[in-house]
Structure 1
């Protein structure tokens, strides 16, 4: 009898232990589930706080006042004098820096990370251009001058320091369209191992007050970060035309942009690793302030190629193509008097299309002559249309 009782108690004890283990495992799983639900609840609380919190206002720091307050230009319009929250590092607050303000007290709550304008990001930035001096024909003198005033100071600044001379801060290339101004700038950037930053001056002309000047400032800051670098400003007459006393609000904004460009030119050392090259087809309309010593004080003409230059340019393009042996470079150079380098490139391309249409795998002399006539007629039509527009405008 007592043995049966002991056996029964032993079986009950085993069942109780199993039940306790099951309950302990259940408690653990419930605790894990509670922890997960608590995390999920905190996540949704944080999301609700984000959705219900008022938006911050972006502003640009203009000046830091002696009493610790800051003068800012808010994105909503007016200039404001605001306080700085205690948790914000005052060392980061400098003129030109973007900050975030709260809406009620207009207090700086955060210093925003530095960013590049989308317009600046979209500009052509080439770490190492693929154009060499051998790709340029008929411009030996221009290449020599650029090497002296751009390449040499970037490669050997110690020579200038030893002699005590300062190279030009800026170089202005002028001449008709298509004569190779951009190619010259790219080639000197490659030979100088410099980053090439290509800007069309019309990109500086913005419709909002102060935007053009800010973009100019950001381009120069980017050039300093990527130094050694060359800023190539194409069609500089878009913002560098002679200033007028009376004009529209748009013209006044362009003048503000020009003043910022002049300030940037004045603000760097000619032996720094940033060089400026500008190009224009209309040097006659440029503001004299751009051309005074200390700014664009080296002016280089890039004319239409002469007879020898046209031979060199034809040779550069045709040696990359499959041609017949009867090509007479001197004859086609005579037939293309008044053509620019870009026109000659178009002639070679058009001759290739003529050969393709004739089911030939090489360019013949007659293809080049036909292409020359076609480009000549096209140029005449363009000049005629331009004269007609000027007559009736």
Structure 2
């Protein structure tokens, strides 16, 4: 408080004389004593909330150092600077995989002959012969949905398709693309599609892993940000112009029934490739493929292991080789032998396993 004293008396200087500029920040925590911790883009700052404004974590609030929290600007975090917007180069750095990380090709994918045949068809008709489709004036397939239990090789096959077709591969894991800032997620999705359609190779695959985590069925209880994200994805699937290049969206899920039905309409995800649990033939092929990449000695009981692993996923079968290598190395040997494989099977089989539908031969 400032008071001016003169010959005719005294008076208080009004607060407007020294205006306090207000700021905007995002709430990161509300403490038990009512103190609000906000993120102003520089550091965490404690504020008092004497007005007892109803606030929650991730609200964007207006505040001043003197008055504390003044009002809620938005129920969600707002971007503090347009200069922070993501660019196509940012997208390529974060989501574009290098060629080395895509695997060696179909020879690296054991079992599932029908699935591989469908994947080869996708490469031949949609990627390698795009000009033929354009000449026929046919609408190319925009999206392919991989469905099936976890660990059956959906992500692995998507990378192989990119490798075999020499396409750029953008891997978008559902949770990682979701941003705390309003509009950021939608902007990132737009930039990913833009990056794919401007690829130098002329071919690109946008792969959404666990798409059910960002595109669940919309309903009355759906969060606003979730509804916006699904709407943006639908818009991109409907309206993206691949500019004459071969761009395909592939998505994987083990919860197809949870996806928003609008995604499954014609013109979006036109194909669905189902990955069941591997049968006896598939399991044997998966074991053989992995054995061919490791140093082994003597005859290995692959047929016996394949018979004993009914209901196992490809990931669980691969885990046998990891354990076998550990057993051999622990015995100071440089090659995997039959006894190592047997011990490895026992190790993996003894781990707690949860039943997965479709596990019968």
Q: Is TM-score (shorter-chain normalized) higher than 0.5?
A: yes
Superposed, 1:28-107 pairs within 5 Å as: none
Cα distance, 1:289–1:202 mapped onto 2, change above 3 Å: same
Which residue among 216, 225, 236 is the counterpart of 1:241?
216
Equivalent-residue separation in structure 2 for 1:175 and 1:99 (angstroms): 41
Where structure 1 has 5 or more consecutive residues not aligned to the other structure, the ranges are 1-74, 78-97, 101-111, 387-393
Cα distance, 1:162–1:364 mapped onto 2, change above 3 Å: same
Q: Deviations over 1:119-144 (max 9, x none)?
A: 76322422463330110011221122
Which residue among 310, 323, 331 is the counterpart of 1:358?
331
Task: Work out whether 1:268 is the aligned partner of 2:240.
Answer: yes
Partner of 1:125: helix, strand, or coil? Answer: coil
Equivalent-residue separation in structure 2 for 1:287 and 1:322 (angstroms): 46
Task: Work out whether 1:184 is the aligned partner of 2:157.
Answer: yes
TM-score, scaled relative to structure 2: 0.70
User: 138-147 or 158-167, which moves further after superposition?
Assistant: 158-167
Which residue among 330, 345, 356 is the counterpart of 1:372?
345
Partner of 1:240: helix, strand, or coil? Answer: coil
Task: Return the structure number with greater helix share.
Answer: 1
Other-structure match for 2:286:
313
Q: Deviations over 1:300-320 (max 9, x none)?
A: 101121111111111111122
Instruction: Report the alpha carbon displacement of residue 235 of structure 1 after superposing the two structures with TM.
Output: 0.3
Instruction: Report the alpha carbon displacement of residue 239 of structure 1 after superposing the two structures with TM.
Output: 1.0
Other-structure match for 1:328:
301
Number of matched pairs: 274
Other-structure match for 1:67:
none
TM-score, scaled relative to structure 1: 0.64
Partner of 1:297: helix, strand, or coil? Answer: strand
Partner of 1:276: helix, strand, or coil? Answer: strand
8 Å CA contact retained: 1:205, 1:253: no
Cα distance, 1:324–1:293 mapped onto 2, change above 3 Å: same
Equivalent-residue separation in structure 2 for 1:257 and 1:170 (angstroms): 17
Equivalent-residue separation in structure 2 for 1:268 and 1:347 (angstroms): 43
Other-structure match for 1:193:
166
Instruction: Report the alpha carbon displacement of residue 225 of structure 1 after superposing the two structures with TM.
Output: 2.2
Instruction: Report the alpha carbon displacement of residue 151 of structure 1 after superposing the two structures with TM.
Output: 4.1
Instruction: Report the alpha carbon displacement of residue 365 of structure 1 after superposing the two structures with TM.
Output: 1.7
8 Å CA contact retained: 2:177, 2:188: yes
Other-structure match for 1:106:
none
Instruction: Report the alpha carbon displacement of residue 162 of structure 1 after superposing the two structures with TM.
Output: 3.8
Task: Work out whether 1:125 is the aligned partner of 2:100.
Answer: no
Partner of 1:243: helix, strand, or coil? Answer: coil
Task: Work out whether 1:252 is the aligned partner of 2:224.
Answer: yes
Equivalent-residue separation in structure 2 for 1:356 and 1:113 (angstroms): 49
Other-structure match for 1:217:
190
Q: Deviations over 1:30-62 (max 9, x none)?
A: xxxxxxxxxxxxxxxxxxxxxxxxxxxxxxxxx
Partner of 2:149: helix, strand, or coil? Answer: coil
Task: Work out whether 1:348 is the aligned partner of 2:350.
Answer: no
Equivalent-residue separation in structure 1 for 2:124 and 2:236 (angstroms): 21
8 Å CA contact retained: 1:151, 1:188: no
8 Å CA contact retained: 2:86, 2:187: no
8 Å CA contact retained: 2:174, 2:213: yes
Equivalent-residue separation in structure 1 for 2:105 and 2:140 (angstroms): 23
Where structure 2 has 5 or more consecutive residues not aligned to the other structure, the ranges are 1-40, 42-59, 61-80, 357-361
Equivalent-residue separation in structure 2 for 1:290 and 1:281 (angstroms): 15
Task: Work out whether 1:140 is the aligned partner of 2:75.
Answer: no
Equivalent-residue separation in structure 2 for 1:167 and 1:337 (angstroms): 38
Instruction: Report the alpha carbon displacement of residue 222 of structure 1 after superposing the two structures with TM.
Output: 1.3
Cα distance, 1:148–1:363 mapped onto 2, change above 3 Å: same
8 Å CA contact retained: 1:117, 1:215: no
Instruction: Report the alpha carbon displacement of residue 256 of structure 1 after superposing the two structures with TM.
Output: 0.5
Equivalent-residue separation in structure 2 for 1:117 and 1:201 (angstroms): 20
Cα distance, 1:285–1:114 mapped onto 2, change above 3 Å: closer
Instruction: Report the alpha carbon displacement of residue 117 of structure 1 after superposing the two structures with TM.
Output: 7.5
Q: Deviations over 1:50-95 (max 9, x none)?
A: xxxxxxxxxxxxxxxxxxxxxxxxx9x9xxxxxxxxxxxxxxxxxx
